[in-house]
Structure 1
């Protein structure tokens, strides 16, 4: 199966919001929050968008405030100064006037003080900070009015479950398989709308289709490949 990236409705919405945030005038609310269940494609979407423009950093579990700022400074300008304040100062100096988006994945792992550091960077540079996490992220952000007030309602992006149409498109582009609507519905139902599970399901169906020598996939073939008995 080929490694592909498809523009689901979630991705299209995030792309639009990031574009709006980049165009937001400095001094106005323009941070972004993205959240959803694990496996819905948030990380893949943010990595694809940052590759077009921006910086990306995954927050590691248990990281200290200084280490986090050093990691971010390294992403932005390739250096790791000693001390949180110096890191922040150099990041601000490097980014000022650029409006370059910064994607922070697993942001719900961060101590709230580190998110305050990101708020400082946003306030001083106007560069959009895109905070990406699981479903508890909004609650954490709402605990600090200074943070949540910088995230307009239209910049709050819940990642929903993938649609059946996304399943059909992914199977076609990644595995050159044509799913019937019934076949796509079965994969979608088994995956419960989680993109990671869709990937695994299509991988199993691809193997079964190769053995059968077909690329047009019926519901019966999906049932066989995924062990569905209903």
Structure 2
């Protein structure tokens, strides 16, 4: 399969939201939130985004402190963590501002239980006004609403939803090698079994493509596929 990010609805929505953050009007806050259940393609979409803009990408961890999170940001900037948190903040602020590098924080749910972590991220935004994008699970939107100072700085909200049949078709058209097609009934069965999860859909498309190549098929149908699973379960 082709190594591309398919322009499904979730990806397009994330791109539009990020463009809005970068081109926002004076006075509009520049923090965005991308949230949804696992498997819907959040990390893939965000990886695509930050690669396009030379962004800074880190994952929050359950044991994070402001110092450990800032240390990983330093690493993404090509620098060694420093002993003093304040010095790391100054270094990061300088580089975010000078090079206008947006900050993307995945697994941002882990920030919600630590006020100091949230305040550290808020400081990075307030002092630079460079876009900050948080990526979290489906409950993060509710949890973050209780942190009013942070909540009020979010201007773009994107909820990743299950892929529909049109998304599966878009993914197939973008990802499959040229000359290989999939009948709509098989695409819909893939959508149904995957429950809209893009991760599972990608696995299924890869398996279908392998079947097509092994049997020299131009178009794979539901009859060709049979009852085999799209994803092997242990």
- TM-score, normalised on structure 2? 0.88
Aligned CA-pair RMSD: 2.0
Decide which of 124, 134, 137 is 1:134's aligned counterpart. Answer: 137
Indicate the residue corresponding to 1:61 in structure 2: 62
Shift of 1:121: 0.9
* Secondary structure at 1:214 match in 2: coil
Contact kept? 2:8, 2:170, Cα under 8 Å: no
Aligned length: 225
Worse-superposed segment, 189-198 or 80-89? 80-89
User: Whose helix fraction is larger, Structure 1's or Structure 2's?
Assistant: 1
* Matching of residues 26-175 of structure 1 within 5 Å: 28-53=28-53, 54-76=55-77, 78-96=79-97, 98-110=99-111, 111-152=114-155, 155-175=156-176
* Secondary structure at 1:56 match in 2: strand
Tell me the distance in 2 between the aligned counterparts of 1:33 and 1:44. 15
State the Cα deviation string for residues 8-46 of structure 1 (Å, max 9, x = none): 111111111111111235653221000011111110111
* Secondary structure at 1:202 match in 2: helix
* Secondary structure at 1:74 match in 2: helix
Decide which of 193, 197, 204 is 2:200's aligned counterpart. Answer: 197
Indicate the residue corresponding to 1:216 in structure 2: 219
State the Cα deviation string for residues 187-230 of structure 1 (Å, max 9, x = none): 11111100011012222222332333203011222334438xxx
Shift of 1:114: 1.2
Tell me the distance in 1 between the aligned counterparts of 2:145 and 2:117. 15
Tell me the distance in 1 between the aligned counterparts of 2:88 and 2:138. 30
Shift of 1:98: 4.7
Tell me the distance in 1 between the aligned counterparts of 2:152 and 2:6. 32
State the Cα deviation string for residues 59-80 of structure 1 (Å, max 9, x = none): 2332222111111123235231
Indicate the residue corresponding to 1:4 in structure 2: 4
Contact kept? 1:97, 1:126, Cα under 8 Å: no
- Which ranges of structure 1 fall in alignment gaps of 5 or more residues? none
* Secondary structure at 1:226 match in 2: coil
Shift of 1:94: 2.0
Pair 1:13 & 2:13 matched? yes
Tell me the distance in 2 between the aligned counterparts of 1:215 and 1:224. 20
Contact kept? 2:7, 2:171, Cα under 8 Å: no
Tell me the distance in 2 between the aligned counterparts of 1:26 and 1:76. 28
Pair 1:186 & 2:199 matched? no
Tell me the distance in 2 between the aligned counterparts of 1:133 and 1:69. 19
Tell me the distance in 1 between the aligned counterparts of 2:27 and 2:124. 12
Contact kept? 1:27, 1:123, Cα under 8 Å: no
